[in-house]
Amino acid sequence: MSRAYNFSAGPSAIPEPVLHRARDALLEWGDERASVIEVSHRGKAFVALVDQLQSSLRALLGVPDDYSVLFVQGGATQQFAQIPMNIAGPDDIGDYLITGHWSRKAHAEAATVARTHVVASGEAANFTTVPDRAQWSLTPGAAYLHVTPNETIQGVEFDDAVDAGATPVVADMSSNILSRPVDVRRFGIIYAGAQKNMGAAGLTLVVMRDDLLARRGRPLPNIFTFAAQAKEKSLLNTPPTFAFYITALVLEWVAAEGGVAEMARRNRAKADMLYAAIDGSNGYYRNPVDVRYRSRMNVPFTLHDAALDEAFLSESKAAGLLALKGHKAVGGMRASLYNAMPLDGVRTLVEFMADFARRHG
């Protein structure tokens, strides 16, 4: 075995015990005498798995009874359009807070199917901070306010307890779902692709308040209609069964490790360790984000001389530290510290960083 510490932004590290179980189930799943990917999604075993996925997710996130939990396809990107199509009528306005690459993209996609308004944007500050709440120009009576509480590329994270009065808040939590406790009641909709903190690519979580589920923005085919997905318990058509299975195992793992409160404690410790190494490097490494909004999940950093980037990447890879290359929009490096990244991985990274700085001056 030569598995290394994987700092990929997504798809990303999966807890190793989950991979061991999945390896076995790939050949034979439980009493099925067949692989988990060979059985019908309408069969008893798989339907029970979907029930388990529902109940585990509800328990971990503390989802209230008047919210539905859906597992759909198309990634978070599909939700950029599907949510406005479902909950905004032709005369409604969807508000957007733009804090980085992904919220900008969510807005651009929504604008193809709905009327939108940007309440504030951090673009002028190169998305290194979040516009102050006092500067947001919320639309009275907006259909919703969309926020991205963790910007995966810029490494900007903010308190997801956004207050928008009576306007339902829609949050893209693709890169920080299950990383800390969330008060679901503060949101109309929470959505997230599974491939970072929750499992394998192919499955997208949508948690939505039932009054929003009942909204009909416009007539849509069933496959795009949340109410139809809910009626069929997320089995409207053939789901990505293996992604469902992996996510069920990841949720079991999170619960067994102590739930989201314990994940939050670990994530804080990991992020603190890495930021301390960056800030204590006398400018050798640098993170540009306003300290109030530094992400615990995705930590972008640059080296004092970009000419060293290639050496940093090849040497870190040789040292067993994978996928540290930053997104091209930001450059430099990025370390993603999702739930499955152990503290030891971060310790190995900061030791490598100190050693690299000593050797390369």
Ligand X SMILES: Cc1ncc(COP(=O)(O)O)c(C=O)c1O
The stretch among 75-83, 214-222, 281-289, 301-309 that binds ligand X (CB under 6 A) is: 75-83
Do the Cβ atoms of 154 and 289 come closer than 8 Å? Answer: yes
Residue 248's nearest CA partner among 310, 291, 199 is: 199
- Count CB atoms within 10 A of the CB of residue 165: 10
Choose which of 174, 229, 234, 287 interacts with ligand X (CB under 6 A): 174
The stretch among 72-80, 162-170, 289-297, 310-318 that binds ligand X (CB under 6 A) is: 72-80
Amino acid identity of residue 48, one-letter, is A
Q: Is 102 known to be catalytic?
A: yes
Give me the least distance between CB of 244 and ligand X, in Å please.
15
Among 29, 95, 172, 325, which one carries the catalytic annotation? 172
Q: Is 136 known to be catalytic?
A: no
From residue 134 to residue 173, what is the string marking binding to ligand X with x (rule CB under 6 A)? --------------x---x-------------------x-
Choose which of 75, 168, 239, 332 interacts with ligand X (CB under 6 A): 75
**193 near ligand X, rule: CB under 6 A:** yes
Residue 202 CB partners (closer than 8 Å, separation 6+): 73, 194, 195, 240, 242, 243
Choose which of 52, 77, 281, 348 interacts with ligand X (CB under 6 A): 77
Tokens describing residue 308: 């060293």
Q: Is 253 known to be catalytic?
A: no
Do the Cβ atoms of 146 and 106 come closer than 8 Å? Answer: yes
Give me the least distance between CB of 132 and ligand X, in Å please.
22
Residue 37's nearest CA partner among 48, 26, 47, 24 is: 26
Number of residues interacting with ligand X: please give it, by CB under 6 A. Answer: 11
* Neighbour-count burial for 149-164, b at 16+ CB within 10 Å, e otherwise: bbbbbbbbbbebebeb
Q: Under the rule (CB under 6 A), what is the footprint of ligand X?
A: 10, 75-77, 102, 148, 152, 172, 174-175, 193
Q: What amino acid positions are annotated as catalytic residues?
A: 102, 172, 196
